[in-house]
Amino acid sequence: MKRLIALTLATLGVAVSARAQWIVYDPASNIQGILNTAQEIAKFVEVINNQVQQIQTLTDQLNEFKHYESLFGDPKTVLLSTVQPLVNDLRKTELGQTLRTLETTVNAGEAMLYNASGLFHSVGTTFTTPNGQSVTRQQATYLPVAAVQKTTDNYLSVSTDATARRVALKNQIAATTDALKAATTDAEVQKLTGVLIGLSSALNNTDYEINQATASAVVQDIANRNDAQRQVEAKKEQQHAEFTEAVQKYGQKFRLMNAPTAFPTP
């Protein structure tokens, strides 16, 4: 009996232990888990593929840029020797002065002493009469002459400066043209073309400066001629009035006899 009871308890213990270790299996839940994992893996693969595609696109763009750079060049690496001389010329202060400035700086004394570096003879500020008397010249008379001399000197200064600049600019244009012929990249060609246009504009500007100085001298000469004519007309009018007044006074002082002359009878 005791042996039966012991065997029964042992059997029950084994049965309970076996039930405790049994794993419950749910097919539907496991399939859903597998599907969710597959979807996550698919999304991850899609992300990886997108990243790979972006990297490939960037690589293609970089290769294309390198190809473009090999064909057209890098503009920032192109250094031109004629750029700085052009900048210096454009920033240079013009020597030419306006006609208004020239007119306000005229000096009659300078006009009397002017000799154009020995080309003319200076009249001096004074002169001596045959009797040995020293006479100071009237400055107002020489002011128009001083104005013309000022504009002439202004023209000579501008013309001399422009001539020297034209020589330098032409040399720079020649050097830039040679560099343009030897250019190997589009970036170098574009930069050289821009510099060449700037040099040509600066060269044309020298002509404008000379023309302006010439115009100032011509206008001042026209103004002087006009003033001379004005003085002549004023002098003629004044002389006519003085002559008319003198005749009237003469007629009042010396009357003509209009009555017959009476002679005494014998």
Element (H, E) at 136: strand 134-136
**pLDDT of residue 6 exceeding 70:** no
Minimum mean pLDDT among 71-85, 201-215, 226-240: which range? 71-85
Predicted structure pTM score:
0.60
Confidence band for 83, pLDDT divided at 50, 70 and 90: confident
Euclidean distance between CA atoms 35 and 28, whole angstroms: 11
Residue 141's pLDDT is 87
Task: Name the more confident of 4 and 136.
Answer: 136
Residue 216's pLDDT is 92
232 CA to centre of own chain: 47
Dig out the tokens for 42 from the structure: 């698919």
Confidence band for 263, pLDDT divided at 50, 70 and 90: low
**pLDDT of residue 16 exceeding 50:** no
- Pick left, alpha or beta for residue 106 (phi over 0 → left; psi -120 to 50 → alpha; otherwise beta): beta
SS3 content of the chain, % helix, strand, coil (to 5): 75, 0, 25
Cβ partners under 8 Å of residue 227, min gap 6: 144
The residues spanned by each domain of the chain are: 2-70, 75-252
Q: Which residues pair with 127 in a beta bridge?
A: 135
Euclidean distance between CA atoms 50 and 172, whole angstroms: 55
Q: How many residues does the chain have?
A: 266
Q: Taking a C-beta distance cutoff of 8 angstroms, is the pair 84, 195 a contact?
A: no
Q: Which residue has the tokens 């213990």?
A: 13
Q: Which of 108-112, 122-126, 160-164, 244-248 has the highest mean pLDDT?
A: 160-164
The average pLDDT across 136-156 equals 91
Q: Which residue has the tokens 């042992």?
A: 10
Euclidean distance between CA atoms 230 and 223, whole angstroms: 10
Confidence band for 27, pLDDT divided at 50, 70 and 90: low
Element (H, E) at 51: helix 27-72
Cβ partners under 8 Å of residue 193, min gap 6: 180
Residue 77's pLDDT is 66
Minimum mean pLDDT among 94-103, 123-132, 203-212, 243-252: which range? 243-252
Euclidean distance between CA atoms 88 and 74, whole angstroms: 25
pLDDT tens string 153-197: 999 999 999 999 999 999 999 999 998 888 888 888 888 999 999
Euclidean distance between CA atoms 92 and 83, whole angstroms: 14
Residue 262's pLDDT is 60
Q: ∠ CA(178), CA(174), CA(155), 5° rounding?
A: 165
